[in-house]
Structure 1
Amino acid sequence: MLSYVLRRIGVSILILIAASLLMYVLVAWSRDPLQDLYASSSPNKEQLILQRIQWLHLDQPIILRWLNWLGGAARCVVPFAGCDLGVTIQNQSVQVLLARAVGSTLQLVTAATVLAIVLGITVGIVSALRQYSAVDYTFTFASFFLYSLPSFLMGVLLKVFVAIGFNDWLRDPVFSWAVIIVVSLVAGLFWQAVIGGNRQRRLTVFAASVIVTGLMMYLMSVTSWFLNPSLGPILSPLLIIAFGAGMVLLIAGTRARFAWRTAGAVAIVLVVAYFALQPFLPAFNGWGLFLLFVLALGVGLLAGWLLGEHDKGQAMRIGALTGLLGMGVIILDQFMRNWNAYLTNPRVNGRPIATVGSQTPNLQGDFWIQGIDTFTHLLLPTISLMLISFAGYTRYARGGMLEVLNQDYIRTARAKGLPERTVVVRHAFRNSLIPITTIVAADVGGLIGGAIITERIFAFSGMGALFNTGLQAGDPNPVMAYFIVIAIFAITFNFIADLAYSALDPRVRAK
């Protein structure tokens, strides 16, 4: 394994060097960085030209300039060696600009990637298990439709129908009876098709979904819930318990007593923590939330280890997921409690869903207000990137699951009388992920690259702006900074995909 890793690192370095030379030469030839100064009528024009030539070393051959850049970039991987990615045509440090841009773009892309993978795989597996049903056809149509939409059109549609429409609706957030009836019927049809079963079971699920959805929408209207939302001391504990029960049913099944004890113990601890933390949560910051999630993870792992009996590994997974999801409910409730303060802030003016920028200018508030502001600005560009990737993951997950379900070992598992949940979760799911690992590795680099258009549409100051500015000015240094980040991400995730192959399929070994 060590020799394989070293070989991959060596090959990756050679690829980066060759690709950086090609990119640098292409950008340097694409446009003259002195063009704007040649057309200037400034009295000190000659002085400005000489100054820029000195900043960018334009008096040197392109190959020598690239070697100088490569030497500065190489020092970035050596601690305390003095990282130097050059300067822009305005004599700004590219290293400083890149640090700001990478943070914004990764914040956007990470959320979109995680949501696309989780939702895409989930929907794809459900579609495969309900092959040729109404659910399968609906998901297939939706995925192909989303996949065909260009990112710029997706951004415009989200601006018009989500941001502007929702902000206008918040002036009087009341659902009409027609909307309640239609949405309730659609929810009932959806859930009965997803859950499936005989006619009686489908009718029961349909009726329950219609009643619950309609009642929730009615209560949200009469209580103006969207203006002052909260999960509260009743719904929050119920959600924590529901997440624990869901993890048990999904991973272990109804008969696993050790799993129920593990999830129950973790849920009880988190319910107690919900009430105990209420006086202290308003003073928390990002590091405090990180510590809470670490503690919740530790509680879940410890409960699984102590109560796991013969299958401690499975119990620890259930405990960990229950702890993380339960703590997520507690944090979400606190954010929701601060929604009204954010909504009524003079800088927001009752229109919370932002269409441009990464933050509200001059917004004053604590960690929770700033967190909500970040969420509202990330919402639309994240959805735009997520929906496009989600469509691809859905199709690959469906195809992979269908292929695995037709294998001989799946038929053998069913013939042995194993429950369908065990067949799908333990035997089919893991193997269906093998082709998706390649797609994820390739999609990460593509998603960051595709964020250029999305950032431009939503005026999001990230790596896309850095790339566009450098390319339009014929300045190689910002473009090379963008390139090196994209290349490193692409190579790294392809390497991780190779390792994931060997973890998912024991027949594959990295040598």
Structure 2
Amino acid sequence: MVRFILRRIGISFLVLLGASLLLYFMVVHSGDPLEDLRESNAKNREQLINARIEFMDLNDPWWVRYWGWLTGVAKCFTLNCDFGVDRTGRDVGSLLTQAAGSTLRLVVLATVLAIIIGIALGILTAIRQYSGFDYAVTFGAFLFFSLPVFWAAVLLKEYGAIKFNDWIAEGWVNPVTILVVAALLGFVVQAVIGGETRRRLWTALATFGFVAVVMFVFNATDWYRNPSMGPIVVLLFGAGAAVLVTSLVTGLANRRVLYAALTTAVVAVISYFIVGGALAEPSGWWLIVGLFAVAIVVSLAIGYAWGGYSRRQAMFASAVTGVIMSVIIFADVAMTHVPTFLELKPRPISTIGSETPNFTGGFWESFLDQGAQIILPTILLTLISVASYSRYTRSSMLEVMGQDYVRTARSKGLSERAVITKHAFRNALIPITTIVAFDFAGLIGGAVITETVFGWKGMGELFRTGLDNVDPNPVMAFFLVTGIAAIVMNMVADIAYAYLDPRIRR
């Protein structure tokens, strides 16, 4: 494996070198970098032209400029990268850092959500092939996959930002809307759960009643403008997460794993009381990251203590439950600061930009501001990616579930959960791994249209601006990051193959 990785790195380096040379040549010959100044009526036009020629080294042949860029990039091996300057004299390294940070903040969340939702929908539709739920998900997947991105983005800005900002000023849902939403959710839940007609009917009625009651309570308590969960609700969510994780990992019959996950949820709630004061106004992200690491360690210790003969499964279930509880507690603390955030910014979701300029709030208010700005582009990218993941997962699962070893597992009397999670799903992940790796690498390059519509200064915007200005340095910085990302993710996919299928190791 080591020789394979080293060989791949060497080949990838040569590919990057050749591609960088070709791209640099194409960019510098794609137009006139002085076109806007030649048409200018400014009195100091000649000085501006000379300054840009000096910044961009336009008096040198293109191969000399390329060699200068390459030698600057080579300094990265000594941790002293030099990406040059753009045509206005700004350091491209600083622009790249800002753009990469903005894009990664958007891409990572959208990709993770798309993977989780898409794979889950793919598994469910494969299990319930040719059902109404399968047809509905298939229709939605094709619809979202074919949506024009710019059109969907404009709709999200209209209804997810402008209309939402108008609504949140009152934070009240009229009774007719509540009944319609409850009925729709009841229909969706019964379609997902399935079963006989009587079971579907009771599921729909129970969901309708629960959602309607909760939404009426939210109206009465002004929850939409003053949201919170509190320890009891957090504990209920934690218990539900523990049961769900255990049922997926080993099944509820394994009491040691179930008790480990439930203990993790209880300990998390107790810890919430202990560290609640520190979380109220943390000094920075290091405290959050540190507490998250402690939560993982404690969860693993609980799983180890409860595990017994199922120690590995107990530790895994406890760790997953600990992660879920950490996210729930983090969300609860953030929700308690929503009223203060709405006082500082009555219209919380802006239509342009990744954050509010000159925002004066504290840690949580700033987090809510940036979180509000990331919602709409994340929804857009997630919907588009979910369509692909759900279709590929469904196809892969259907192919695997028809194999002989799956039929053998069923004939041995294994539960359907064990057949799907341990035998079918793991093998179905092999083709999906390739899609996930390359999709993530591609998204790092920046969703150019999405970033343009929502005004994000990310990698896509860096590439587009550099290309429009016939400025090779920003374009080459974009290429370097996205090219390395593609290589790394491709290698990660190969390593994942070996883990998922032991035959590939040989």
- Is the structural similarity TM-score above 0.5? yes
Report the CA distance between 1:420 and its aligned residue: 0.8
CA distance in 2, matches of 1:281, 1:26: 52
Give the Cα separation in 1 of the matches to 2:250 and 2:202.
25
Instruction: For 1:367-378, list aligned pairs within 5 A.
Output: 367-378=363-374
Q: Distance in 2 between matches of 1:66 and 1:86?
A: 11
- Superposed counterparts of 1:422-433, under 5 Å: 422-433=418-429
C-alpha distance in 2 between matches for 1:274 and 1:282: 11
Alpha-carbon distance between aligned partners in 2 of 1:116 and 1:388, rounded to the nearest angstrom: 8
Equivalent residue number for residue 188 of structure 2: 190
Tell me the distance in 1 between the aligned counterparts of 2:485 and 2:381. Answer: 17
Partner residue, 2:342: 343
With the length of structure 1 as denominator, give the TM-score of the two structures: 0.96
Aligned residue for 2:314? 315
2:462 aligned residue (458, 466, 471): 466
Counterpart amino acid of residue 313 in structure 1: R
Displacement of 1:468 after TM fit? Answer: 2.0
Distance in 1 separating the partners of 2:181 and 2:128: 22
Where does residue 485 of structure 1 map in the other structure? 481
Which residue of structure 2 lines up, in the alignment, with residue 56 of structure 1? 56
Identify which of 451, 454, 457 aligns with 2:453. 457
On the 8 A contact 2:28/2:472 being kept in 1, the answer is yes
What is the identity, as a one-letter code, of the residue corresponding to 1:315?
A
Matched position secondary structure for 2:502: coil
Alignment check: 8 A CA contact 2:257 2:310 kept: no
Q: What are the ranges of 5 or more consecutive residues in structure 2 without an aligned counterpart?
A: none
**Residue identity (%):** 47
Superimposed CA distance per residue, residues 411-436 of structure 1 (whole angstroms, 9 cap, x where no aligned partner): 11111111111111111111111111
Counterpart code for 2:264: V
Alignment of 1:117-136 (within 5 A): 117-136=115-134
Q: Which residue is 1:70 aligned to? A: 70
Q: Given the superposition, is the C-alpha separation of residues 55 and 271 from structure 1 closer, same or farther in structure 2, using an over 3 Å criterion?
A: same
Amino acid at match of 1:205: T
Bigger Cα displacement from structure 2, 221-230 vs 69-78: 69-78
Residues of 1 paired with 2:456 and 2:25: CA distance? 28
2:324 matched to which residue of 1? 325
**Counterparts of 1:283 and 1:376 in 2: how far apart (Å)?**
19
Find the counterpart in structure 1 of residue 11 from structure 2: 11
| Cα drift, residue 166 of structure 1 | 1.4
Cα separation, 2, equivalents of 1:334 and 1:381? 24
Q: Does 1:393 align with 2:389?
A: yes
| Counterpart position of 2:492 | 496
Q: 1:256 to 1:56 in 2, by over 3 A?
A: same
Task: State the AA in 1 paired with 2:302.
Answer: A
Q: 2:231, 2:269 within 8 Å by CA — same for their partners in 1? A: no
The Cα of 1:275 is off from its aligned counterpart by 2.0
How many Å apart are 1:64 and its aligned residue?
Answer: 1.8
Equivalent residues of 1:130, 1:194 under 8 A apart: no
The residue matched to 1:280 in structure 2 has which SS? helix
Note the C-alpha offset of 1:262. Answer: 0.7
Residues of 2 paired with 1:251 and 1:62: CA distance? 58
Amino acid at match of 1:405: M
Contact 1:286–1:367 (CA<8 Å) still a contact in 2? no
Corresponding letter in the other structure for 1:380: L
Partners of 1:344 and 1:388 in 2: how far apart? 34
Alignment of 1:2-401 (within 5 A): 2-79=2-79, 82-284=80-282, 285-345=284-344, 348=345, 350-401=346-397
Which deviates more from structure 2 when the two are superposed, residues 251-260 or residues 162-171?
162-171
1:336-360 CA deviation, whole Å, 9 max, x = no partner? 0001110111xx1x21122111111
Partner deviation per Cα, 1:433-479 (whole Å, 9 max, x = no partner): 11111111221233234511111101111222222221111111111
| 3-state SS of paired residue (2:357) | coil
In 2, Cα distance between the equivalents of 1:252 and 1:204?
Answer: 28
Task: Give SS of 1:478's match.
Answer: helix
Q: What is the alpha-carbon distance in structure 1 between the residues aligned to residue 387 and residue 245 of structure 2?
A: 26
Distance in 2 (alpha carbons) for counterparts of 1:267 and 1:37:
64
**Deviation by residue 1:232-267 (Cα, 9 ceiling, x = unmatched):** 232112111211121111211111011112112211
Relative to structure 1, the CA distance from residue 72 to residue 430 in structure 2 (aligned partners, 3 Å threshold; closer, same or farther) is: same
CA distance in 1: counterparts of 2:263 and 2:220, whole angstroms: 36
CA distance in 2, matches of 1:295, 1:321: 14
1:506 aligns with 2:502: yes
Indicate if the aligned counterparts of 1:296 and 1:327 stay in contact, CA closer than 8 A: yes
Distance 1:236 1:104, change over 3 A: same
Question: What is the identity, as a one-letter code, of the residue corresponding to 2:165?
Answer: N
Distance 2:445 2:92 in 1: 19
Conservation of the 8 A alpha-carbon contact between 1:385 and 1:447: no
Instruction: Give the partner amino acid of 2:328.
Output: V
SS in 2 for 1:229: coil
CA–CA distance in structure 1, aligned partners of residues 169 and 82 of structure 2: 51
Matched residue SS, 1:344: helix
The 3-state SS of whatever aligns with 2:177 is helix
Residue 223 of structure 1 deviates from its aligned partner by 1.5
Aligned residues: 505
Residue by residue over 1:85-122, the C-alpha shift from the partner in whole angstroms, topping out at 9 and shown as x without a partner, is 11111111111111111111111111111111111101
Amino acid at match of 1:424: I
Contact 2:281 2:364 in 1 (8 A): no
1:20 counterpart letter in structure 2 = S
Structure 1's unaligned 5+ residue stretches are none
Higher mean displacement: 460-469 or 290-299:
460-469
Question: Is this contact kept in 2: 1:16–1:487, CA < 8 A?
Answer: yes
Question: 1:276-334: CA deviations, max 9, x gaps?
Answer: 22222113231111111111111111111121111211111101011111111111100
The TM-score normalised by the length of structure 2 is 0.97
Which of 403, 407, 414 in structure 2 is aligned with 1:407?
A: 403
Q: Does the 8 Å CA contact 1:303/1:319 hold for their aligned counterparts?
A: yes
User: RMSD between aligned alpha carbons?
Assistant: 1.5
- Matched to 2:361, the amino acid is G
Residue 443 of structure 1 aligns with which residue?
Answer: 439
The 8 Å contact of residues 444 and 485 in structure 2, kept in 1 or not, is answered as: no
| 8 Å Cα contact 1:297-1:320 kept in structure 2 | yes
